[in-house]
Amino acid sequence: MARTKSPPAALDTRPQALAAFARRIPGLFSASVEEEIHAHMGATISEAVLQAGINYETVVKPRIERLRAHHPEAVTTTAFLDLMRRIEPSTLLGFRGRKPLLVRLTAELLREVNVETEADLRLWLARDESQERLKRLSGIGDKTIDYFRMLCGIRTCAIDVHVLRFIEAAGVVVTGYADAKTVVTRAAELLLIDPATFDHCIWETMKRRPEAL
């Protein structure tokens, strides 16, 4: 990603360019947007941590669905931690590597600050210091924070490789995660949709038929 200086907001024409590009893509806005809230903290924590750099449809989604189906009791952070005491996170999630440990560490942090439900998480994440505390865990960055925000009902966007490729296809240059998020958010405003909906429409288009670009 190019590291050029972003123009001042008042002079930045990139959101207009991205919005105009999106309007030209047939069927871009036809993707259905489902409610993201799990009401199951085990699923919320696991999905947010596992998703980074992993195929969602083939790897993350089936594991989250299995967790919810087999362990409906893990609806709070404390209940999820109790479950991980009985079943090792790697076995519980069917996933090797460090991410199952990060799932447990994240759950421990959230319980420490009395975040037991998605409603608690939404309020807690509204504070900048909370987001910074989460990012002190190795493996959690800006995208995972935004993913957590989406999963607890905050209408935002999480910039991933699909969105970055869409931005590039539009001929728009961004300087990093925060800059890309700003451009996508402002483009969504111009399109009269919320950032989460625009993010989802881009993601679905790039996943299923990138050749349409």
> Average pLDDT, stretch 93-106?
97
In this structure, are 28 and 119 located in the same domain? no
User: Which residue among 151, 181, 202 closes a domain?
Assistant: 151
Q: What is the model's pLDDT at position 208? A: 76
Asked, for residue 45, whether it belongs to a domain, the answer is: yes
Res 50 pLDDT > 90: yes
Asked, for residue 130, whether it belongs to a domain, the answer is: yes
User: Which residue among 151, 171, 189 closes a domain?
Assistant: 151
In this structure, are 21 and 50 located in the same domain? no
Domain extent at residue 186: 9-33+157-212
Q: Provide the token pair at 120.
A: 């608690």
Asked, for residue 4, whether it belongs to a domain, the answer is: no
In this structure, are 123 and 191 located in the same domain? no
The C-alpha torsion from 135 through 137 and 139 to 143, rounded to 10°, is: -20
Residue 51's pLDDT band (cuts 50, 70, 90) = very high
Asked, for residue 3, whether it belongs to a domain, the answer is: no
In this structure, are 168 and 194 located in the same domain? yes
In this structure, are 58 and 118 located in the same domain? yes
Say if CB 27 and CB 200 are below 8 A apart: no
Residue owning tokens 């189906």: 69
In this structure, are 103 and 180 located in the same domain? no
Res 10 pLDDT > 80: no
Say if CB 184 and CB 157 are below 8 A apart: yes
Asked, for residue 28, whether it belongs to a domain, the answer is: yes
Q: Provide the token pair at 101.
A: 């440990």
In this structure, are 48 and 114 located in the same domain? yes
Q: Provide the token pair at 92.
A: 């519980």
In this structure, are 18 and 57 located in the same domain? no
34 compared with 37, residue with greater pLDDT: 37
pTM reported for the whole predicted model: 0.87
Q: Give the CATH number for residue 47.
A: 1.10.340
In this structure, are 45 and 146 located in the same domain? yes
User: Which residue among 151, 166, 188 closes a domain?
Assistant: 151
Res 194 pLDDT > 50: yes
> Average pLDDT, stretch 46-75?
95
> Average pLDDT, stretch 116-135?
95
Residue 178's pLDDT band (cuts 50, 70, 90) = very high
In this structure, are 19 and 110 located in the same domain? no
Asked, for residue 127, whether it belongs to a domain, the answer is: yes
Residue owning tokens 């030209």: 24
Q: Among 27-41, 98-112, 127-141, 191-205, which stretch is predicted with the lowest mean pLDDT?
A: 27-41
Mean pLDDT score of the chain, rounded to an integer?
A: 92
Res 7 pLDDT > 80: no
In this structure, are 161 and 147 located in the same domain? no
3-state per-residue secondary structure call for the chain: CCCCCCCCHHHCCHHHHHHHHHHCCCCHHHCCCCCCCCCCHHHHHHHHHHCCCCCHHHHHHHHHHHHHHHCCCCCCHHHHHHHHHHCCHHHHHCCCCCHHHHHHHHHHHHHHCCCCCHHHHHHHHCCHHHHHHHHCCCCCCHHHHHHHHHHCCCCCCCCCHHHHHHHHHCCCCCCCHHHHHHHHHHHHHHCCCCHHHHHHHHHHHHHHCHHHC
> Average pLDDT, stretch 131-149?
95
In this structure, are 98 and 172 located in the same domain? no
88 to 51, 100, 146: CA distances (angstroms): 19, 8, 27
Res 4 pLDDT > 60: no
Radius of gyration for the alpha carbons in the chain, expressed in angstroms and rounded: 18
**Which tens digit of pLDDT belongs to each residue from 100-125?**
999 999 999 999 999 999 999 999 99
Separation of alpha carbons 145 and 134, rounded Å: 8
Res 212 pLDDT > 70: no
Asked, for residue 1, whether it belongs to a domain, the answer is: no
| Domain count of the fold of the chain | 2
